[in-house]
Amino acid sequence: MLETLQLYFSYPFVRYAFVVGILIALCSALLGVTLVLKRFSFIGDGLSHVAFGGIAIASVMNLSNQMILVLPITVVAAIILLRTGQNTKIKGDAAVAMISVGALALGYMLMNVFSVSTNVSGDVCSTLFGSTSILTIKGFEVWLCVALSAVVLVVFILFYNKLFSVTFDESFAKAVGTKTDHYNLLIAVLIAVVIVLAMNLVGSLLISALVIFPALSAMRLFKSFFSVTVCAAIFSVVCAAAGLIISILAGTPVGATIVTVDMVGFAIFSVIGKIR
Amino acid sequence: MAEIKVENLALGYEGDALVENLNFEINSGEYLCIVGENGSGKSTLMRTLLGLQKPMAGNIVFGDDLDSTQIGYLPQQTLVQKDFPASVYEIVLSGFQGSMGLRPFYSHKEKKEASDALERLGITQLKHRCYRELSGGQQQRVLLARALCATKRILLLDEPVSGLDPSAQTEMYQIIRRLNLEGVTIIMISHDVHASLHFASHILHMGSQIFFGTTEEFEESPIGSHYLLKEKKTLGGGHICDLDRVAKIKVKEGK
């Protein structure tokens, strides 16, 4: 088994997949804590569908680097969703549902009508479930992923205390002069970036799992914001690494495997949390 | 010089005025209770004082180097906080956010002041406990400690005893009273007119009739006596919490 792994790791694309996968897992877990606590997890879900629509447009336009188009589309959608969540006639959750199914339908339609490929359902499936895209990632995209992850990490650390205060008690934060709107916007943009990154790893349908499972698992066991954040990050990285290795060895789809490992981890944490 | 002076204030949403021509002022060290029925604009007034909402007309004038962000605010608890994983210390420290600007981390001085605030409210032993596991009264003290980190001078409390059991209510009133005696100006929104009359130096009554004045003036005014009568009828003269015990602090501390 070790030899098989060694053999696989001698290929650069496997090493790339590992580095990128772990960075993505780390970023999504960190933001996931804020997202879950702010009751924003549904926004993550909606955005992932928007990103799917974005990919469909990008593939129809035959772009070689899809991220360049998908990223701005998702960021804009994040901002719109956040604004609609606050003060419009259509309430937040309904708006998210509307935008996400809309993007999903539009994306599938575009891929069907304008497709240049011979295997449309294969394309759709790999976009939704990420089957092999993490293993085909290369060159520029690897560096883009690394750079964006680094940006997300640095911003998260620098604004950690502010994110805590805005998440815990928005009205207090606002009353003492924190620009809560700016931070909500920051959160939305960061989510959008993480989601576009995570599409490479697990595909657009499974992204929410990367965001939600680490945070919820950590919350079973830990009781301060700091310990929950750290635990979620470690949990996510371990699950992503384990999922990648299992999928290489057993030949299972990468995204689904990682999410399955996440679910097992969550179950274990829940049981430990109950017992203690 | 008044800490806060409110002049001809009109409050409301989207052109509908809830309250018009509101005038009152609060000086350093005073204890103002804002009472009135639901929907009379108490919360709107509070949001306006905190700068969360713009007044429809009129002015709020703040005293020397005070502005709305330097009011320590004790909000009502939200649903999100009920299962929020956070330690007491993390929450209290977040009181400094307003004065930090873009600086990312807390300074030693701020950490020390946060510990002092815990000490002041007698919850040092809870420092590393999880917020959601505390009792309602303890949670309120934590949020009060956070508010103290945001201000030295003036606290705005939104129904600080609602949802607390009687003994926790008594304790909370005691703490607020003590802070007031230590020189912190208090503005408190309250449902409990009786308790308000016990501690407050001034009363602002909102609703169909607006009244502002000292507590004695309020007791003698038509609206105040109406309230007292109603209270006596519903409560039979008894109080939910032990107000006399709270009032004794005054005697004990000799002020």
Q: What CATH number corresponds to the domain at position A38?
A: 1.10.3470.10
Give tens-digit pLDDT for A200-250.
778 888 888 999 999 999 999 999 999 999 999 999 999 999 999 998 888
Q: How far apart are CA A259 and CA A265, in angstroms?
A: 10
Domain that holds residue A80: 2-275
Cβ atoms of A187 and A160 within 8 Å: the answer is no
Q: How far apart are CA B236 and CA B229, in angstroms?
A: 10
Last residue of a domain, one of B130, B150, B170: B150
Closest-CA distance, A178 to chain B, in angstroms, reads 5
pLDDT at position A86, please?
56
- A83 in contact with B at a CB cutoff of 8 Å? no
pLDDT at position B196, please?
83
Out of A39, A159, A176, closest to residue B98 by CB:
A176
Q: Which residue of B has its CA nearest to A160?
A: B104
pLDDT at position A198, please?
86
Enumerate the residues of chain A whose CB falls inside 8 A of the CB of residue B91: 168
Enumerate the residues of chain B whose CB falls inside 8 A of the CB of residue A160: 104
Out of B78, B90, B100, closest to residue A224 by CB:
B90
Residues B102 and B131 in one domain: yes
Q: Is the ipTM of this complex over 0.90?
A: no
Cβ pair B97:A226 closer than 8 A: no
Residues B107 and B125 in one domain: yes
Positions in chain B short of pLDDT 50: 236-238, 251-255
Residues B93 and B211 in one domain: no
- A172 in contact with B at a CB cutoff of 8 Å? yes
- Is the pTM here over 0.80, yes or no? yes
Residues B132 and B223 in one domain: no
Which two three-digit tokens encode residue B31?
A: 């204890």
Give tens-digit pLDDT for A9-67.
888 888 888 888 999 999 999 999 998 898 777 778 888 889 888 888 888 888 777 78
Q: How far apart are CA B27 and CA A139, in angstroms?
A: 67
Residues B66 and B181 in one domain: yes
Cβ pair B85:A174 closer than 8 A: no
Residues B120 and B234 in one domain: no
Cβ pair A225:B85 closer than 8 A: yes
Number of domains in chain A: 1
Provide the chain A residues 37-66 that lie in CB contact (below 8 A) with chain B.
37-39
Give tens-digit pLDDT for A100-152.
889 889 988 888 888 767 777 777 777 777 766 677 777 788 888 899 999 99
Residues B124 and B246 in one domain: no
Cβ pair A176:B69 closer than 8 A: yes
Domain that holds residue B146: 77-150
Last residue of a domain, one of B98, B122, B150: B150
Cβ pair B94:A169 closer than 8 A: yes
* pLDDT band for position A87 (cuts 50, 70, 90): low
Residues B109 and B228 in one domain: no
What's the average model confidence in pLDDT over A181-192? 89
Residues B146 and B158 in one domain: no
Look at A66 and A153; give whichever has higher pLDDT.
Answer: A153
Q: What CATH number corresponds to the domain at position B228?
A: 3.40.50.300
Number of domains in chain B: 2
Last residue of a domain, one of B125, B150, B175: B150
Closest-CA distance, B50 to chain A, in angstroms, reads 5
Three-state DSSP class for A62?
coil
Look at B251 and A177; give whichever has higher pLDDT.
Answer: A177
Residues B160 and B255 in one domain: yes
Out of A159, A168, A228, closest to residue B94 by CB:
A168
Q: How far apart are CA B168 and CA A184, in angstroms?
A: 35
